[in-house]
Amino acid sequence: MQPKKNELLILPLGGLEQIGANCTMIGTNGDWIIVDLGIAFYDSLGIEVLTPDVSFPAKMLDKIKGIFITHAHEDHIGAIQYLWPKLRCPVYVTEFPAAVLRQKLKECPWSGDVEIRVVTCKNPIHLDNFEIEYVTLAHSILGACGLYIKTDAGTIFHTGDWKIDEAPLLGDKIDEKRLIEIGKEGVDCLLCDSTNVLVEDEAGSETHVRQALSRVISQYKDRRITVTCFASNIARMETVFHIARESGRKIAIVGRSMFKMISAVSETSYLSKEFKAGISSIIPEEDAVSLPPSKVLLMCTGSQGEARSALFRLARGENRVIKLGKHDVVVFSSKVIPGNEICIRDMQNLLTRNGVEIVTTATEDDIHVSGHPSKGDLVRMYEWLKPKSFIPIHGDSVMLHAHQKFAEQNGIHESLIVESGEIIGLSNGQLQRLSKIDLTFMALDGQSLIPITHDAINERLTMSTGGSISVSFIVSNDNRLLNAPDIITRGIFIDRGEAKRLESRLYQIVANEVTKHPGSVNEIKRECVSAIRKVMTKQFDKKPAIFIHVHRS
Amino acid sequence: MQPKKNELLILPLGGLEQIGANCTMIGTNGDWIIVDLGIAFYDSLGIEVLTPDVSFPAKMLDKIKGIFITHAHEDHIGAIQYLWPKLRCPVYVTEFPAAVLRQKLKECPWSGDVEIRVVTCKNPIHLDNFEIEYVTLAHSILGACGLYIKTDAGTIFHTGDWKIDEAPLLGDKIDEKRLIEIGKEGVDCLLCDSTNVLVEDEAGSETHVRQALSRVISQYKDRRITVTCFASNIARMETVFHIARESGRKIAIVGRSMFKMISAVSETSYLSKEFKAGISSIIPEEDAVSLPPSKVLLMCTGSQGEARSALFRLARGENRVIKLGKHDVVVFSSKVIPGNEICIRDMQNLLTRNGVEIVTTATEDDIHVSGHPSKGDLVRMYEWLKPKSFIPIHGDSVMLHAHQKFAEQNGIHESLIVESGEIIGLSNGQLQRLSKIDLTFMALDGQSLIPITHDAINERLTMSTGGSISVSFIVSNDNRLLNAPDIITRGIFIDRGEAKRLESRLYQIVANEVTKHPGSVNEIKRECVSAIRKVMTKQFDKKPAIFIHVHRS
């Protein structure tokens, strides 16, 4: 593909098929920048983390000018710790994400090599063919910015995740003034967050959450309160500090991730008086349990039912110090992220079974607000930026299509639904599909990153439904079977009678194949697999993985 | 446990931990009846269906007087085809569930042995110590009844699944008059559906759905419409017939389950004129594709994203005749059943990716109503029956606790949250936990029913996350290792360099263990497993299943 001059290229590597793994490449005149490098959470076949596949940029390192991070959520920043060694270019971030990133990289042996360039809004970065300006938006984390990307070939505004919050409690308000100016300067293409395009009205404010949480918690004066929320939502954490102080409760924090975020925010200018006071009033878990329930407020992560989270550990009774029971109320200051429904419900069932009362947005309004734009927020962004064209990002196919339709209804007629790997040309505000590169997602498997389509992962799926059978035997040099085959099954239910029948059936099969294919171990193996597969399907209605060991003696 | 005279026993075998597998035993003076015998859907480790564990009643067949089915949904009737041979007692059902059951049992070799006794409302069944009366309620299926169970020791009202529908289109309205009478006669304990206790207002009517679906479908005059709903909702199917006729569209039905239900309803008195006309207007898939989109309405199951359903097959392009694309609109006349969120979203993403427009309750009101009681319905049931005590059923722990709280707020102060296997005594309207039997759920694995806690299923979990490694070697009679161990891995990612290192490491381990434990094959195996586990954890951060074959030569 030979890009034209005066053409901007947009190449998403993730963020369009599922929640997370956000990553978009923007190119012009042969140079590229990367916007965001996030992970997606996965919960199957031993895989917990997916990253984008960066083999395309990794092949042209001299052309990759930098990684630009919009904000510090895992789905935007979380893959740097796995992929940076393949890219080895500077990482541009604002103050808070920089603090978070430094902490994440601590455990990486190559962390000293990473050039983290801390940038500020209103000070565009000039970089070869690009001018990149960070613009303050609001989100459920501090320091979330959109990127205004100017090139000779045109301009792009990339929102990252955002919403409008008129009173975000911590951090700046959305920079409406600058957005209007940018709209006047001219945006050729808007790449915009699609998460909540199906939600009516406005996203709502952290200030409302403070009021609602305060009201709800005041109803449980005699009970111990646990608030669960995302560790990265610093404003929310400040709210919990505020309510604890207001209601005369001491704060104990359960789990490490909140302490990490506290330490990150402490390095920044966002550290408010209220937050500082909150930190200094934290007591250890051991002290919390010796206070009356009415005097304690616990704060922890785990609102998404993550199996190893502080809250799920509490639900399973695995916290050595704190046991939740009838005198406890757990307040979910959180939403259900799609995909986590079952885990969250399992955890909530466990909590209620132990007598804990749970409070969620299902029954209490406003104890959480989303960090993503509802229809009302989106319309305002369209009005500010007046983009000539539009690509919905950050969402699955249903969301992207809904967003395209919604933008169309609001006067944005030039748009494309894009899949990961598609290279889109932007020229004079017109979008065009140019080509598609081969792309997958990478799965973090133990210490390795392997394609999610790798045989090893498919084999686990086979074994997870069908179990395994391993058969080992010895063939003499004159092609006789020397023993009854040794059979081991795992994950297959066989009663004794069936086991006997299976053994003698497999003995026959093996003896038969050894005779039929003298001298060819591979052929014996292949034919044994095929015959055993038939027997297993017929006798057990199961398709196990089959291992054949043949020894020569 | 020696039950007292004048004591009723309530023993749930399922329906309290998850959606489905509903089954409750009711006993008095040594005799028992079983209310419902349903399955739960499962989607993991090769298991798709769970049933209750009936080993307790199976030990005292002479005491089990009958199985009483409240309605024909799988989670209430679906386990008969697996468990009846263990129970071998008469099955009592009303007309429509009888037709469904007969069809389900067709494939069972023992179906001729099942005594299906078709009962009618207002005609109580007298059975030793029990008098059981079916009372018409409403639900999302025809012929859903509650059971009014009278004994010398007290009375129970078991709702099964129900709601209030003032205009259900097909079938009778809820028998409010009889319920008020029963309330006057006196209900010692109410067992009541908890599914929608967190939902405000009333459940709503099938009549509203007809209006809403008609309105929505009329907006897509030029497009082909597919409506997906449950096959068992005969009123909904009639609505689709009605709309097809109204809008001049021919009906084609995709998938077998709807034809089965049509055949079941055709055996009953519920067959309405509209439904009959609808059936006669059905055209084959082949004919549907030759008509213009505006003249076709497809109806299919698969609203829950079941992998093998008609709709998911359409989404994957696996239907040989019909291909969905840009001229198609799929209307989900259904809710998201908890647990199915991910599958449904995957399917909807696939559909939209193919250009299909989808319409769901997320954006269109009233195109589905639930079959379960909202708070408004529940309050009316409490008022009608005025039960002395209350056990919430049909729900997970969160729902059961919410239901207990809601009933308490509405004046029902005597209640218990019960777990499967708990035997509850009911005496003079007082509930008491008497004892608990050991109980599990049974998983349908191929052709076998095995406890969900069985090793075979745990082993699949191990292999699904960690893969497998199988090692085979020959030890001579004088305790020497005769070959390099043959190693097979599955589901483990190993690059070439690692494979070499692993091979030589395992060679060492095996040789070492053979030398250390001469003569003891079992000890060699055990120690090899332990040493290999260490290597795999260290080298790959993985915990595979480990198979060791030792041959003697």
* Rounded mean pLDDT, A137-162: 97
CB A10 within 8 A of CB A189: yes
Best residue in B48, B406, B417, B490 to probe A by mutation, most A CBs within 10 Å? Answer: B490
Q: Exposed, middle or buried: residue B295 (CB in 10 Å: 0-12, 13-18, 19+)?
A: middle
pLDDT, one tens digit per residue, over B429-453 is 999 999 999 999 999 999 899 999 9
Which residues on chain A are in Cβ contact (under 8 Å) with B490?
456, 459-460, 462-463, 468, 545, 547
Note whether B128 and B146 are same-domain residues: yes
Distance CA A147, CA A124 (A): 10
* Rounded mean pLDDT, A423-452: 95
Instruction: Determine, for residues A547 and B468 on separate chains, whether the beta-carbon distance falls below 8 Å.
Output: yes
Which residues on chain A are in Cβ contact (under 8 Å) with B462?
490
User: What single-letter amino acid sits at B73?
Assistant: H
In a domain, B3, yes or no: no
In a domain, B1, yes or no: no
Instruction: Write down which residue in B394, B429, B447 finishes a domain.
Output: B447
Best residue in B349, B374, B416, B537 to probe A by mutation, most A CBs within 10 Å? Answer: B349
Which residues on chain A are in Cβ contact (under 8 Å) with B401?
352, 357
Instruction: Determine, for residues A349 and B397 on separate chains, whether the beta-carbon distance falls below 8 Å.
Output: yes
Residue identified by tokens 């409240």 is: B70
Q: Closest CB to B198: pick one of A363, A463, A549.
A: A363
Note whether A162 and A296 are same-domain residues: no
Best residue in B48, B359, B397 to probe A by mutation, most A CBs within 10 Å? Answer: B397
Q: Give the closest residue to A95 by CA, choosing from A45, A156, A170, A24.
A: A170
Q: Is B535 helix (H, G, I), strand (E, B) or coil?
A: helix
In chain A, positions 401-430, which contact chain B (CB-CB < 8 Å)?
A: 401, 419
Note whether A311 and A400 are same-domain residues: no
pLDDT, one tens digit per residue, over A497-539 is 889 999 999 999 999 999 999 888 999 999 999 999 999 999 8
CB B76 within 8 A of CB B40: no
Residue B228 has φ and ψ, to the nearest 5°, of -110, 135
pLDDT at A261 over 50: yes
B526 touches A at CB < 8 Å: no
Share of chain B above pLDDT 70, in %: 99
DSSP string, B144-212: -EEEEEEETTEEEEE--S-B--S--SSSPPP-HHHHHHHHHH--SEEEEE-TTTT--S----HHHHHHH
What distance in Å separates residue B493's CA from the closest CA in chain A? 6
In a domain, A3, yes or no: no
Q: Is B226 helix (H, G, I), strand (E, B) or coil?
A: strand
What distance in Å separates residue A40's CA from the closest CA in chain B? 15
Cβ neighbors of A462 (< 8 A, separation 6 or more) are A543, A544, A545, B490
Instruction: Determine, for residues A457 and B482 on separate chains, whether the beta-carbon distance falls below 8 Å.
Output: no
A297 touches B at CB < 8 Å: no
In a domain, B58, yes or no: yes
For residue B340, what are its two tokens? Answer: 């199915």
Note whether A380 and A393 are same-domain residues: yes
Question: CATH number for the domain including B152?
Answer: 3.60.15.10
What distance in Å separates residue B348's CA from the closest CA in chain A? 7
CB A192 within 8 A of CB A415: no
What distance in Å separates residue B360's CA from the closest CA in chain A? 11
Note whether A333 and A222 are same-domain residues: yes
**Sign of the torsion angle spanned by Cα atoms A157, A163, A165, A170:** negative
In a domain, B410, yes or no: yes
CA A6 from centre of chain:
35
Instruction: Write down which residue in A451, A470, A502 finishes a domain.
Output: A451
CB A173 within 8 A of CB A204: no
In chain B, positions 40-99, which contact chain A (CB-CB < 8 Å)?
A: 44-46
Confidence of residue B4 (pLDDT cuts 50, 70, 90): low
Instruction: Determine, for residues A491 and B540 on separate chains, whether the beta-carbon distance falls below 8 Å.
Output: no
For residue A307, what are its two tokens? Answer: 């199996």
Confidence of residue A299 (pLDDT cuts 50, 70, 90): very high
Distance CA A369, CA A236 (A): 10
A446 touches B at CB < 8 Å: yes
Q: Closest CB to A492: pick one of B456, B491, B493.
A: B456
Note whether A428 and A389 are same-domain residues: yes
Range of the domain at A514: 455-552
Best residue in B361, B398, B399 to probe A by mutation, most A CBs within 10 Å? Answer: B398
B520 touches A at CB < 8 Å: no
Mean of the per-residue pLDDT values of chain A: 95
Note whether B460 and B440 are same-domain residues: no
pLDDT confidence of residue B1: 47
Question: CATH number for the domain including A214?
Answer: 3.40.50.10710
Distance CA A243, CA B269 (A): 62
Q: Give the closest residue to A87 by CA, choosing from A37, A50, A127.
A: A37
Q: DSSP class of residue B61?
A: G
Check residue B491 and give left, alpha or beta (phi > 0: left; psi -120 to 50: alpha).
left
pLDDT, one tens digit per residue, over B129-177 is 999 999 999 999 999 999 999 999 999 999 999 999 999 999 999 999 9
Helix, strand and coil percent figures for chain A, each rounded to 5: 35, 25, 40
In a domain, B176, yes or no: yes
Note whether A153 and A47 are same-domain residues: yes
pLDDT confidence of residue A382: 98
Best residue in A457, A470, A506 to probe B by mutation, most B CBs within 10 Å? Answer: A470
Angle at A313 between CA A308 and CA A318, to 5 degrees: 125
For residue B72, what are its two tokens? Answer: 């024909």
In a domain, A98, yes or no: yes
Task: Indicate the pairing of strand A296-300 with strand A224-228.
Answer: parallel
Q: Give the closest residue to A425 by CA, choosing from A186, A151, A193.
A: A151
A350 touches B at CB < 8 Å: yes
Note whether A285 and A225 are same-domain residues: yes
Instruction: Write down which residue in B447, B472, B499 finishes a domain.
Output: B447
Q: Closest CB to B464: pick one of A46, A483, A548.
A: A46
User: What single-letter amino acid sits at A346?
Assistant: D
Q: Give the closest residue to B452 by CA, choosing from B42, B31, B24.
A: B42
pLDDT at A300 over 90: yes
Distance CA A487, CA A472 (A): 7
Q: Is B385 helix (H, G, I), strand (E, B) or coil?
A: helix
In a domain, A1, yes or no: no
CA A353 from centre of chain:
30
Residue in chain A lying closest to B452 (CA)? A493
Instruction: Determine, for residues A474 and B472 on separate chains, whether the beta-carbon distance falls below 8 Å.
Output: no
Instruction: Determine, for residues B541 and A352 on separate chains, whether the beta-carbon distance falls below 8 Å.
Output: no
pLDDT, one tens digit per residue, over A334-373 is 999 988 999 999 999 999 999 999 999 988 989 999 999 9
pTM equals 0.94
In chain B, positions 381-400, which contact chain A (CB-CB < 8 Å)?
A: 396-398, 400
**DSSP H helical ranges for A172-255:** 176-185, 206-218, 234-246
pLDDT confidence of residue A2: 53
Note whether B547 and B421 are same-domain residues: no
B342 touches A at CB < 8 Å: yes
Question: CATH number for the domain including B491?
Answer: 3.10.20.580
Best residue in B422, B472, B528, B533 to probe A by mutation, most A CBs within 10 Å? Answer: B472
Q: Give the closest residue to A459 by CA, choosing from B468, B245, B270.
A: B468
Instruction: Determine, for residues B46 and A464 on separate chains, whether the beta-carbon distance falls below 8 Å.
Output: yes
- How many structural domains are present in chain B? 3
CB pairs under 8 A between A and B: 197
Q: Closest CB to A398: pick one of B352, B464, B542.
A: B352
For residue B107, what are its two tokens? Answer: 């494939």
In chain A, positions 487-516, which contact chain B (CB-CB < 8 Å)?
A: 488, 490-493
Note whether A259 and A346 are same-domain residues: yes
A518 touches B at CB < 8 Å: no
pLDDT at B259 over 90: yes
For residue A92, what are its two tokens? Answer: 């541009």
Distance CA A318, CA A324 (A): 10
Tally of CB atoms within 10 A around A480: 13
Note whether A242 and A170 are same-domain residues: no
pLDDT, one tens digit per residue, over A302-345 is 999 999 999 999 999 999 999 999 999 999 999 999 889 999 99
Instruction: Determine, for residues A339 and B341 on separate chains, whether the beta-carbon distance falls below 8 Å.
Output: yes
Q: Closest CB to B341: pick one of A341, A349, A465.
A: A341
What distance in Å separates residue B466's CA from the closest CA in chain A? 6
pLDDT at B5 over 90: no
User: What single-letter amino acid sits at A138?
Assistant: A
